[in-house]
Amino acid sequence: MASRTSDLTCPACGERIYPSDQKCLACGARLDEGRLVGTEAPADDTAEHVVPPAARTAWPGGTDAAAGPSVDVPYATDAAPWRPEQVAGGGGLFDSISRGWVFLRESFAMAFRDKDLFLPSLFSVLANLVLLGGLGLILYLTGNLEALFADEGEGLTVTGWVVLLAATLTGYLVTYFFTGMTVHLVDVHLRGEDAQLGSAFADSLRNIGGITALAVVSVAMALIAGAIRGRSRGGLRRMAADTVERAWLAATYLMLPVMILEDAPFMQSADRATRLHRHNLLQIVIGELGLMITARIISGLTVFVAIGLAVGAYFGAPALLPVAIALALLLFVLTAAFMAYVRTAFYTCLYLWAVAMETVGETAPAPAPLRPALQAGW
């Protein structure tokens, strides 16, 4: 997908840059709001570089980006501009649950209007289940299945470790590929266009190099977290490992919108995601905490219902036990797919809002699904 987020270019080399860039990623020139600075700046710097005419007419309808609160943004909104500090409620448990629930509701409404938005997440869960089954079969045939669960996998053979690492890498590739499709579909839907699975697939395929690099780094991060955790079942080491895993998870969900919507390579996506995280920390923390708490509540309810189905069938109608188990598995799959879709939708909305604010400032309103969630509170 062609870039739609910035028309600024580096005055030194002409590569695309962003208002928040401190240096050009292509040539390394030091920048300040799109201008060369220091010894790299020309003697007479009278030209206006902050928002060039091309960027001012980048929004639909040719609206001037300097026009303030009335500016149009390329996604659906339903209210006037709103600042992050106007978030309702506080940082308590019930406020976080309320925000997470509201975004889940808005995401469900989005998927209900366009079923294609949910499908890549469902495909991802199903593909990973098939991959997990294949991994178990290969480990069984090579005599490594029992060793995998015995004493932290120390009994695995070299073949077993190779198979396990290959399956892990493939799992990340599958997950990120379908997540990239969801990013594309949510972006297209928020722009009021018809989201198509074919174009989403092509967009992820076009960025397969960056997705592969992200998967490789994710495997490395998983190994690092595992090394930090060691055999500890609690304490500081386990807490540190969990922190590494959560931080990397948030980073990947920020990098994928950059990678897919800007066609950016891995390193550029990482740099952009770092800046977006730094400049939008409040929105990320508010939304991520709410989604995490809500996801755990929903997962707990899913387990409760699934166990209830199996136990009820076992004692009430044993002949229906296979049906109950199938229904429980289907419930698990749908819940996992829906929560993956919701998380991707949240970070895509956050990304679109962040790049809109880069161009028009804090007058840019949040995307329609995100605004009511951030305003929710008890």
303-328 exposure pattern, b = at least 16 Cβ within 10 A, e = fewer: eeebeebeeebeeeeeeebeebeebb
Q: How far is Cα 183 from Cα 347, in angstroms, rounded to an integer?
A: 9
Residue 231 has pLDDT above 50, yes or no: yes
Which band of pLDDT confidence, cut at 50, 70 and 90, is reported for residue 45?
A: very low
Those residues whose C-beta lies under 8 Å from the C-beta of residue 224, and which sit 6 or more positions away, are 244
Of the pLDDT bands very low, low, confident and very high (cuts 50, 70, 90), residue 47 is very low
295 with 284: CB under 8 angstroms?
A: no
Would you give the distance in Å from CA 90 to the centre of its chain? 24
Q: What is the pLDDT of residue 52?
A: 33
**How far is the C-alpha of 236 from the C-alpha of 238, rounded, in Å?**
6
Q: When comparing pLDDT for 219 and 357, which is higher?
A: 219
- Do 115 and 243 share a structural domain? yes
pLDDT at residue 68, as a whole number: 37
pLDDT at 46: 40
Asked whether the beta carbons of 184 and 178 are under 8 A apart, the reply is no
The residue among 28 and 250 whose pLDDT is bigger is 250
Do 5 and 95 lie in one domain? The reply is: no
Provide the 10 A C-beta neighbour count for residue 103.
25
pLDDT digits (tens, 9 = 90+) for 176-216: 999 999 999 999 988 888 878 999 999 999 999 999 999 99
The number of distinct structural domains making up the chain is 2
Does residue 120 share a domain with residue 39?
no
SS3 assignment, position 280 = coil
- Pick from 24-38, 73-87, 92-106: least confident: 73-87
Token pair belonging to 284: 């990320």
Q: What is the distance between the alpha carbons of residues 60 and 62, in angstroms, rounded to a whole number? A: 5
Q: Which amino acid is at 177?
A: F
Among candidate residues 57, 83, 100, the one where a domain is terminated:
57
> Is residue 41 located within the same domain as residue 106?
no
- Tell whether 334 is covered by a domain: yes
pLDDT interval class at 279 (50, 70, 90): low
pLDDT band for position 232 (cuts 50, 70, 90): low
The answer to whether position 66 is within a domain reads no
* In the predicted structure, residue 38 carries a pLDDT above the cut 60: no
* Cβ neighbours, 10 Å, residue 69: 13
Looking at residue 66, its pLDDT comes to 37
**Which residue is it, tokens 């940082």?**
91
Return the percentage of the chain with pLDDT > 70, whole number.
69
Cα-trace Rg, the chain: 23
Predicted local distance difference test score (pLDDT) of residue 96: 67
Do residues 341 and 207 both lie within one domain? yes
Secondary structure (DSSP) of 49-116: -SS-HHHHT-SGGG--GGGGGG---SS---S----GGG--S-SSHHHHHHHHHHHHHHHHHHHHH-GG
Q: Which has more confidence, 368 or 74?
A: 368
Per-residue pLDDT for 78 more than 80?
Answer: no
Does position 128 have pLDDT exceeding 90, yes or no? yes
Asked if 279 contacts 20 with a C-beta cutoff of 8 angstroms, the reply is: yes
- The predicted structure's pLDDT at residue 172: 95
Of the two residues 306 and 167, the one the predictor is more confident about is 167
Residues 174 and 25 in one domain: no
Average per-residue pLDDT for the chain: 75
User: pLDDT (tens digit, 9 = 90+) per residue, 244-265?
Assistant: 887 788 788 889 999 999 888 8
| 22, 85: one domain | no
Residue 70 lies in a domain: no
Please determine, for residue 94, whether its predicted confidence score (pLDDT) is greater than 70.
no
Complete DSSP assignment for 314-377: HHH-GGGHHHHHHHHHHHHHHHHHHHHHHHHHHHHHHHHHHHHHHHHGGGSPPPTTTHHHHH--
Integer Cα distance of 241 and 132 in angstroms:
24
In a domain, 62, yes or no: no
Helix, strand and coil percent figures for the chain, each rounded to 5: 70, 0, 30
Highest mean pLDDT among 152-161, 329-338, 362-371: 329-338
Nearest to 3 by CA among 258, 228, 378: 258
When mean pLDDT is compared across 69-73, 244-248, 276-280, the lowest value belongs to 69-73
Q: Note whether 127 and 49 are same-domain residues.
A: no
First to last CA, the chain: 40
pLDDT at position 21, please?
Answer: 64
What residue has token string 């780094």? 217
Across 227-260, b (16+ Cβ under 10 Å) vs e yields: ebbeeeeeeeeeeebeebbeebebbbbbbbbbbb
Of the listed ranges 150-154, 159-163, 193-197, 245-249, the one predicted with least confidence: 150-154
Q: Which domain holds residue 13?
A: 1-57
Do residues 297 and 257 both lie within one domain? Answer: yes
Q: Residue 5 carries which DSSP code?
A: S
> Same domain, yes or no, for 83 and 45?
no
pLDDT tens sequence across 318-335: 888 888 888 889 999 999
Residue 132, in any domain of the structure: yes
In a domain, 247, yes or no: yes
Q: Both 48 and 80 in a single domain?
A: no
State whether the Cα torsion 269-271-276-278 is positive or negative.
positive
* pLDDT at residue 239 in the model: 79
68 part of a folded domain: no
Among 369, 185, 351, 170, which residue's Cα sits nearest to residue 277? 351
**Do 246 and 279 reside in the same domain of the chain?**
yes
pLDDT score of 25: 66
- Cβ–Cβ under 8 Å, residues 178 and 127: yes
Quick check: is 65 in a domain? no
Q: Are 16 and 8 in contact (CB under 8 A)?
A: yes
